[in-house]
Structure formats: structure tokens, C-alpha cells
Amino acid sequence: MSRRPLIAANWKMHKTVREAVDYAGELVPRVRDVTDVDIVLAPPFPALPALVDALADLAAAGRIAVASQNVHAEPHGAFTGEVSPPILQASGVTLAIIGHSERRRLFGETDSGVNAKTRAAAAAGLTPIVCVGETLEEREADRTFDVLDRQIAQGLAGLPPARAGGAVVAYEPVWAIGTGRVASPDQANAAHRRIRGRLATLFGDAAGGACRIIYGGSVKPGNAAALMAQPHVDGALVGGASLDPVAFAEIVAASRPRAQPS
């Protein structure tokens, strides 16, 4: 099955509203002709509405979308400091990153918490980008696949198969995030193949075949094409290199189906 590439920028805690709008002005002319890659920008919360406005033309054409970096699992209520999927959806946000390893490590997110957020996001019509990945310790102990199996089974539990097929899974080995140490194309593909097999077992072959599995961890313009050439790598979640619109546009260009080495 051919899956449309998806390249997402995770800005983490970087960029003011003005910087986000300036970035959109730099990025749009560079990706205006890219019709074969889904582009996603995930800024900090305050920049979401401004970015939705700044990207409205390309968003209307279904080519670029805006994601939150987190959600709360409840739709509304007394949860000071939190933002819910329906509130985000009403602001023009269409995807949500959930369970990033920084959220798990620094903010105590668990697989069951990731699951609650994933189901809430999907119920509100947001596409969840569910992040999974092993630590260096887990890889060295040969536990990578066990960790991925658990994170997938628990993180996506209870999703209807069509929602699981429409979700995005980001494989982000923790040892590759922000370290400059990228997974090899073979390592990424093996992990993605495992995740796809697990999804097929849990949700059926159609969902397993449809779900886009993107790679994250030190993706740069120079390594994107080799990663994207792997059959199970459907895109990238880009942190550091996404902060520069020129570098991010280069990663998008390197991910176009025809740009891949044969």
C-alpha cells in the first residue's frame, strides 16, 4: 500500500507568535509546489491560531496542517493550565502529538495516560501522532521490540480500527532525540516493521497497512532521503532541524516520493 509521506515539525518550547508567523512566511514559498507530502507544524500553544491563519491557503488545499504538542484527556473542566482536544479542534488544529518521550520522562506520562489522550484526541476529530520508542538502556538490553509492543498495545488500546489506521505513530528512539545520533535506515525500518505488524495484529491488516509510521530523532536534510527510502518509513518528526524553515523545507523536499533513491 502506498502511504502519503508526512513530515512534521516539533518546535518544542521555541518561537514566539511573531516568530511563528515569520517562519510561515519563509516556509510557504519553499513548499508551495509540494503536492505529494503532508506537512505539519507543531508550535507552542500560543502560536497555534496565528499559524492556522498564516497557513490558511495551503491548509485549505489539504497540504499543510497545524498540530498541538500535547492535549488533556478531558474535554473541559477544572484542569488549570491544560488544553483539551475540542478547544484545539475549534482553533483549527487538526493533529496532536501525544506521548513524546520528553512528556513521558519529564512530566510523568504513562502508557495509560497516553491512551486516554489518544482516544480523546481521536474522539474530537484530531489525528493523534502517538510517540513511542526505547531508551538506550532498553536497546542495549535487547528489549526494543518488547517496549514498542507494549507502547503500541497500551497507547492505542480501544481505538476503532479505522481510527487506528488513520492515526500516525512516531517511532522516536530516545537515544536519537536531540543527540545528533540518528538511527540507521535499517534500524528505523526494522522498528517500523515491528510496529506495523503489531498494529495489524491488534487492528487488522487494513489498519496496519494504512497507519503512517514516521521516524524521529536527529533527522536532518542530509539523512532524510535515506530514511524515507525505507519501505516502512512514511515520514519524519523533526525537532531541532525544523526550527529553520530552510532546513525543514529541504527535509520536505528530500521526502517527496520521486526524490527517493530507487
Alpha helix stretches (DSSP H) within the chain:
17-31, 48-54, 56-60, 85-90, 101-107, 111-123, 136-140, 144-155, 161-166, 185-203, 205-210, 224-228, 245-254
Long-range CB contacts for residues 109-117, cutoff 8 Å, separation at least 24: 111/150, 111/151, 111/154, 111/155, 112/154, 113/73, 114/151, 114/154, 114/155, 115/154, 115/155, 115/156, 115/157, 115/158, 116/73, 117/70, 117/71, 117/72, 117/73
Cβ nearer to ligand PGA, comparing 45 with 202: 45
235, three cell numbers: 515520514
Cβ nearer to ligand PGA, comparing 207 with 225: 225
Instruction: Count the site residues for ligand PGA by CB under 6 A.
Output: 13
168, three cell numbers: 500516525
22, three cell numbers: 515569520
Among 216, 221, 235, 245, binds ligand PGA (CB under 6 A): 216
Candidate segments 16-24, 108-116, 152-160, 171-179, binder of ligand PGA by CB under 6 A: 171-179
Candidate segments 25-33, 77-85, 149-157, 235-243, binder of ligand PGA by CB under 6 A: 235-243
Among 86, 113, 235, 239, binds ligand PGA (CB under 6 A): 239
- Catalytic status, residue 72: no
Bridge partners of 169, per DSSP, are 130, 213
Cβ nearer to ligand PGA, comparing 133 with 208: 133
Cβ nearer to ligand PGA, comparing 115 with 218: 218
Q: If binding is defined by CB under 6 A, does position 147 make contact with ligand PGA?
A: no
Among 177, 199, 225, 249, binds ligand PGA (CB under 6 A): 177
Candidate segments 60-68, 120-128, 159-167, 210-218, binder of ligand PGA by CB under 6 A: 210-218
Q: If binding is defined by CB under 6 A, does position 172 make contact with ligand PGA?
A: yes
Cβ nearer to ligand PGA, comparing 144 with 218: 218
Give the CA diameter of the chain.
Answer: 54
Q: CB–CB of 118/159 below 8 Å?
A: yes
Q: How far is the CB of 177 from ligand PGA (least distance, A)?
A: 4
Query: Of these residues, 102, 134, 138, 172, which one is catalytic?
Result: 172
| CA triple 101-222-212, angle to 5 deg | 50
Q: Which residues are catalytic?
A: 100, 172
Residue ranges binding ligand PGA (CB under 6 A): 10, 172, 177-178, 216-219, 237-241
